Amino acid sequence: MTIIRRTNRLLDAVPRSQLRLLGRSRSSFQVLGFTGLAAAALITQMLTDWTGQSNWLMTAVTAGCVGTFYLLAFSTKIITGVEQLVYYHHEIAVLTVTAALVAALGGPVLPFLDLTVIGLGTFLVFGRLGCLLVGCCHGRHQQWGVRYPKAMSTNGFRRELVGVRLLPTQLIESACVLLVVVIGCVMVVRGAPAGAVFAWYLVAYDLVRFTLEFFRGDDRPYYRGFSQAQWLALMLTLLVVGAELLGWLPWVGWHLAAAAAMLAVVGGLTLIRRYPSSRRDPFGRRLTNADIAELAAGLDRIGQGGQVAGTNGPGPGDDPIQIQLCRTSFDLTVSSGRTAEGTHYSLSAGHGLSNKSTLEIAALIQQIRHPDNRITILSRSAGIRHLIVDDAEPAINPVRSAAVR
C-alpha cells in the first residue's frame, strides 16, 4: 500500500493543461507534440545518414508526413464537427502517403518505411505524454492512477471523472512504444533486411495497443465488444503476416503467433460473453467510465438534496435521517444520509453485490465525494451494503472493511 500511495502522489502532480515555455504559458499537448515532431525528424535524419539513404528524400517524406497529419486532422474536424486525433487513422494515412511518395520519386520504398515508422513511434512517445498531462486517452478506474483536478474540466476533461483515479494508460503506452522504437533503431543500425523494422514496429505496437485497449476508459467506437483500435490492430497484423507469406516482407515466425493470439482472444472472449458463468460477480459487470460518470452525477444530485426518497425513523442518537436516493441505468441504487457516526451510504443491486464490487464502488464514492476521509464498509443486511464515512478521520487507507461477508 505504501508503494501505491507514493505512486499516486507522484501521478497526482502530473496533470497540467499549460506548460511555461519561453516566458509564456502554452498548451501542454502542443508543446509535447512539437517536441515529438522535432525528435522524430532528428532521429530519422540520423538513421538516414547511417544507412546511406537520401537525406533530401527523407526530408520530403517528413514534410509529406506532417502535411498528411494536418490534412487528416482538419478533414476529420470538418466532416465530424469535432477535433479528433486517432493514432491508427494517422498511422495508416502517413505510411500510405510515404510509400506512394517514395515510389513516385524513384526511391526504395521499404527502407524508407523502416525509417518512417521509427519517426512515427518517436512522435507517439511524446504525444502520449501530452495525453497524460491533459487527460485524454485515459484508462479505467483503478486503485492506483492519476486524479485529474477540477481545473482540467474546463479543457475538455469529463467533469464527472474529476477526482477519480484513472489508470495512466498514456504513460504505459509511451513507455512501451519507446522500447519498440529503441529496438527498431538497433535493428536499423545492425543492418536488418529492408522492411524488417517496418513489420517489427507494426506488429509490436499492435500487440501493445490491442492489450491496452482492455484498460482504456475514454469514449471510443466499439463493435462486437471490441474497440475500433483492437480491430485495426488485428487487421494490420494480419496484413503484415500476409505480406510475409507472399514474400513482400521478411518472414518472422512470431508475427504469425501474435496474429493467432489476438484471434484467439477475440474468439475466446466472444464465447465467454455469450455464455456467462454463474460463478461470476452477481453485479455482472466492471464499471466503465461512462458508468462512473453517471454515478458521479447521481452522487452530486443526492449531495445537493435532490431525489428525496423518504425519511427514516430515529437513527443513532435519536437523530432523524433524511434519505436521498439515486438509481443508475446499470442496476445500482445508492442512498445517502447523515447519522451521528458520519455520512451513511447504502448500496444495493438487483442481483446482489459481491465484496469486490462493493470495494470498487466504495472507493469511487470516496474519491468522488470524500477524498479526504476514510470509508468503512459494514456488514450487509438483507442484500444491502452499508458504508460509513468518518468525517474526522483522514483517508490514509481510504476504504476498509469492518465485516464484509
Please write the tens of the pLDDT for every residue from 326-351.
888 888 888 888 776 678 888 888 77
Backbone phi and psi for residue 268, each to the nearest 5 degrees, phi listed first: -65, -45
**What are the Cα distances from residue 167, in Å, to 142, 205, 374?**
6, 19, 22
Helices of type H across 105-168: 109-134
176: amino acid identity, one letter:
C
Reduced to 3 states (helix: H, G, I; strand: E, B; else coil), residue 266 is helix
Rounded Cα distance, 57 and 63, in Å: 10
- According to the model, what pLDDT value does residue 391 have? 66
- State whether the Cα torsion 49-50-52-57 is positive or negative: negative
Provide the pairing of β-strand 332-339 with 320-327. antiparallel
- According to the model, what pLDDT value does residue 164 have? 85
Reduced to 3 states (helix: H, G, I; strand: E, B; else coil), residue 188 is helix
State the cell numbers at 342: 458520519
User: Could you tell me which residues are beta bridge partners of residue 347?
Assistant: 334, 385
Q: Where are the domains of the chain?
A: 2-274, 289-401
- According to the model, what pLDDT value does residue 380 have? 64
- In which residue ranges of the chain is pLDDT below 50? 278-279, 306-321, 395-398, 400-405
Going through 8-100 in order, the beta strands assigned E by DSSP cover 18-21, 24-27
Q: Which long-range contacts (CB under 8 A, 24 or more apart) does 99-105 make?
A: 101/60, 101/61, 101/64, 102/57, 102/61, 105/57, 105/60
Q: CA angle at residue 346 from 342 to 349, to 5 degrees?
A: 165
- According to the model, what pLDDT value does residue 322 have? 55
| 343 contact partners, CB below 8 Å, separation of at least 6 | 336, 337, 370, 388, 389, 391
> Does an H or E element contain 405, and which?
none
- CA 48 remoteness from chain centre: 34
Directed axis angle between helix 87-104 and helix 55-80, to 10°?
A: 140
Rounded Cα distance, 362 and 17, in Å: 29
Number of Cβ atoms within 10 Å of the Cβ of 80: 9
Residue 150 DSSP one-character state: G
Directed axis angle between helix 228-245 and helix 196-212, to 10°?
A: 150
**What are the Cα distances from residue 122, in Å, to 16, 129, 184?**
22, 11, 11
User: Could you tell me which residues are beta bridge partners of residue 376?
Assistant: 388, 400
- According to the model, what pLDDT value does residue 363 have? 82
State the cell numbers at 270: 466472444
